[in-house]
């Protein structure tokens, strides 16, 4: 394994992409980018990162931002608990480190929402601490290089590769970790389609030698998701739309949503209960969370009197001020194409 170090570092010098958080490798920039990149690819993150940094350029501004504004800035990235943990960690940094980002792995990993990988990435990239940073890309590279058929989703497999990497970490630990991640992002691609001819480690790769790149890495998931049926109601009254805030715990906690009911309601039942002036079926949609699947159908209903149980906002306010979870977006978009729709 020690033979991969120099070829990888040399390759990274000429092939690393220009990314906004690499311009200065400030810990705040690297931290925010790493949290955004969880569950999201780099190209998709760039626009969110730019918007976030324009409004929240440092730890202090992040620690003071309102939750509603924070979630709006995060809208589209999903997994909103990540954004909430960012703010919690920023408040910890302000309280415990006087606004200065902590400079060691042991301190960084104690911050809210930061796990082993993120702590390792920040500590090595920003402070050159000799610690590993093993994410899904690195696991894929390591599994293919070694020809391992162990399940990379198991903690013991990850721990095994972390120990192997720790043995060969060079003094330029940050660059080495970045190089491994970059290789996985741009060359050692998933789903059996790596660009092996472009890989600087080709001569050391067991999977390439044995024609196993389509089989490795091995990923065996044991996911049993709960299935829920919901009827989404987009209620309109006097040019305003009804929204409500979810509870401060559980799925999508603290976010705004359209009113909804458990199960599939018929149009006749909605007419009898709400007596709408107008009703339109918005179709069906499905949204998958980590442990729950939502099967949804939606209706647009124009009603005569606004209920005090909801917050009534204009379409522009909804778009500009309130973070709407991705699960509800398909129905909101369909409202724009309804005949005589005032929603633009």
Q: Which domains does the chain have, with CATH numbers?
A: 2-209 (1.10.340.30), 226-335 (3.90.79.10)
Between CA 223 and CA 15 the distance in angstroms is 37
Between CA 120 and CA 178 the distance in angstroms is 11
Rg (C-alpha) for the chain, rounded Å, is 24
Per-residue pLDDT band at 242 (split at 50, 70, 90): very high
Between CA 327 and CA 332 the distance in angstroms is 10
Higher pLDDT, 336 or 195: 195
Instruction: Look at residue 159 and tell me whether its pLDDT is greater than 90.
Output: yes
Per-residue pLDDT band at 42 (split at 50, 70, 90): confident
Could you report the per-residue pLDDT of 125-151, keeping only the tens digit for each?
Answer: 999 999 999 999 999 999 999 999 999
Instruction: Look at residue 39 and tell me whether its pLDDT is greater than 90.
Output: no
Per-residue pLDDT, 232: 96
Residues annotated catalytic, as ranges: 34
Per-residue pLDDT, 241: 95
Instruction: Look at residue 344 and tell me whether its pLDDT is greater than 60.
Output: no
What Cα–Cα distance (Å) separates residue 132 from each residue in 47, 135, 322? 28, 10, 38
Instruction: Look at residue 229 and tell me whether its pLDDT is greater than 80.
Output: yes
Collapsing DSSP states into helix, strand and coil, what is residue 96?
helix
Per-residue pLDDT band at 323 (split at 50, 70, 90): confident
Between CA 219 and CA 216 the distance in angstroms is 8
Q: For residue 283, what is the enclosing H or E element?
A: strand 278-288
Per-residue pLDDT, 338: 79
The three state secondary structure string of 314-329 is CHHHHHHHCCCCHHHH
Per-residue pLDDT, 221: 81
Per-residue pLDDT, 291: 86
Q: What is the DSSP letter of 203?
A: G
Per-residue pLDDT, 205: 96
Instruction: Look at residue 331 and tell me whether its pLDDT is greater than 80.
Output: yes
> Above pLDDT 90, what percent of the chain?
83
The answer to whether residues 141 and 183 touch, using CB atoms and an 8 Å cutoff, is yes
Between CA 33 and CA 27 the distance in angstroms is 10
Task: Kindly state the average pLDDT of the residues 87-116.
Answer: 96
CA angle 309, 313, 319 (to 5 degrees): 130
Between CA 9 and CA 115 the distance in angstroms is 25
Per-residue pLDDT, 76: 87
Per-residue pLDDT band at 341 (split at 50, 70, 90): low
Per-residue pLDDT, 253: 85
């Amino acid at each position: 394994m020690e033979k991969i170090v120099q070829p990888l570092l040399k390759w990274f010098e000429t092939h690393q992409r220009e990314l906004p958080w690499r311009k200065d490798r400030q810990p705040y920039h690297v931290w925010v980018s790493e949290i955004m990149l969880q569950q999201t690819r780099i190209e998709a993150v760039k626009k969110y990162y730019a918007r976030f940094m324009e409004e929240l350029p440092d730890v202090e501004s992040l620690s003071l931002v309102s939750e509603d504004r924070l979630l709006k800035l995060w809208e589209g990235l999903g997994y909103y608990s990540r954004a909430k943990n960012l703010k919690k960690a920023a408040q910890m940094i302000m309280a415990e480190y006087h606004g200065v980002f902590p400079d060691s792995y042991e301190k960084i990993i104690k911050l809210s929402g930061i796990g082993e990988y993120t702590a390792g990435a920040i500590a090595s990239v920003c402070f050159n601490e000799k610690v590993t940073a093993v994410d899904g890309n690195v696991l894929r590279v390591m599994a293919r290089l070694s020809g391992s058929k162990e399940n990379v989703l198991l903690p013991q497999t990850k721990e095994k590769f972390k120990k192997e990497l720790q043995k060969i970490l060079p003094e330029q630990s940050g660059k080495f970790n970045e190089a491994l991640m970059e290789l996985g992002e741009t060359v050692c691609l998933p789903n059996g389609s790596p660009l092996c001819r472009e890989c600087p480690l080709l001569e050391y790769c067991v999977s390439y030698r044995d024609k196993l790149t389509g089989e490795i890495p091995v990923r065996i998931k044991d996911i049993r998701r709960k299935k829920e049926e919901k009827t989404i109601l987009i209620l309109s009254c006097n040019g305003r739309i009804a929204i409500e805030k979810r509870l401060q715990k559980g799925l999508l906690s603290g976010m705004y949503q359209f009113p909804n009911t458990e199960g599939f309601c018929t149009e006749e039942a909605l007419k009898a209960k709400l007596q709408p002036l107008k009703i339109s079926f918005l179709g069906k949609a499905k949204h998958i969370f980590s442990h729950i699947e939502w099967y949804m159908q939606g209706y647009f209903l124009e009603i005569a009197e606004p209920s005090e149980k909801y917050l009534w906002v204009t379409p522009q306010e909804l778009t500009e001020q309130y973070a709407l979870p991705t699960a509800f977006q398909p129905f909101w978009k369909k409202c724009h194409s309804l005949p005589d729709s005032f929603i633009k």
